[in-house]
Amino acid sequence: MVNYDSVSPVGFPIPYKIIEKANNHLIKNPPQEHEALLATLPLQPSGTPNFHPRQPFVLYKGAWIGKFFVRGALAMEQNFKSCPTDLLLVSSPKSGITWLKAMIFATLTRTSYPLDQHTLHTHNPHQCVTNLERMFATGRSQIIEVIPSPRVFNSHFPYSVLPQTITDSDCRIVYVWRDPKDVLVSMWHFFGKIMGGADKIATFEQVYDSFCQGVNGYGPIWSHVLGYWEESKRRPEKILFLKYENILQEPVKHAKQLAHFIGCPYSEAEESQGVVEQIVELCSFQKLKNMDVNNNEILSMSANNISPSYFFRKGEAGDWKSHLTREMVVRLNTIIEEKFKGSGLKI
């Protein structure tokens, strides 16, 4: 077991990147034992464009997921053991997980660093908190076992795809969702950047159409959101259900709520010293977007090398207004409202 104190003078949790570096020898070849099953899964309908031409979606447990990540789901199902102290951050892609990772990481480590020298200045949020399905898809499952508690992971899986070890365990889940119209816009820009230009992927209209049919990464988005919403109503002490737009409006209130939920509430002294506001500022869009670490490094993620700057585009609510026609808005809103009917959820 590595003594992490000798690797980095940090408290817990340690940025995942440091743990991986110290445990490189534990990385194995990607799992191959599920290839036969993977080959039987339905491929996305012909005519629906792929957000990501290198990763076709397959239908797995009711969700359209890139094959690479389904490989991770199958390996995870077999080998992951969740602990009650684990914390899982979940969202449909492009709904605010980078922000949530930064907020949670900063909250948990707020006494480990002076905030102006916090590790978020040297590590992108995705290097601090790792994606669970990616770990399993890329042969990193043994590294998971040496991550010190409390372990913090993220996942994009719908609730129905989470392995039973997570849904049966007492671990806590923070879920964030966002107006699906902004998710769509953010996703289209993101994959355009990955593929080297918006013209390299399908047109916005084609992608919109596919999104309305529920064929997008981890989609349909309404099932994704509803799955966690229903479960959060059943187990509110274990699943915190948040909305991106609400966090934007009241970041301090949400920072306190997050800290409370994960079991490290701010003390009165911290509140009066303005620590909550400092955490909010450290994790704010402008602050993170302008840090060197989020502009100069290349992140190696799934099948792609990604610039961390891709995760910081506009960071606003309502950019859909400059992308969707009136007809597009009405159609997508109608679909979502219909799906949300009776749930108590509103866009």
Could you say which of 17, 67, 71, 94 contacts ligand PAP (CB under 6 A)?
94
Could you say which of 70, 90, 97, 184 contacts ligand PAP (CB under 6 A)?
97
Q: Which is nearer to ligand PAP, 22 or 283 (CB)?
A: 283
Please choose, out of 7-15, 60-68, 207-215, 280-288, the segment that lies near ligand PAP by the rule CB under 6 A.
280-288
Residues 201-240 that bind ligand PAP (CB under 6 A): none
| Closest distance to ligand PAP from the beta carbon of 59 (Å) | 21
CB 122 within 8 A of CB 185: no
193 near ligand PAP (CB under 6 A) = no
For residue 156, indicate whether it is catalytic. yes
Q: Which is nearer to ligand PAP, 80 or 244 (CB)?
A: 244
311 near ligand PAP (CB under 6 A) = yes
How far, in Å, CA of 241 to CA of 78, rounded? 27
Could you say which of 288, 328, 335, 345 contacts ligand PAP (CB under 6 A)?
288
Residues 312-341 that bind ligand PAP (CB under 6 A): 312-315, 319
Compose the 9-48 pattern: x for residues touching ligand PAP by CB under 6 A, - for all others: ----------------------------------------
| Closest distance to ligand PAP from the beta carbon of 290 (Å) | 11
Q: Which of 126, 156, 189, 254 is catalytic?
A: 156
Which chain residues interact with ligand PAP by CB under 6 A? 91, 93-99, 182, 186, 189, 283-285, 288, 311-315, 319
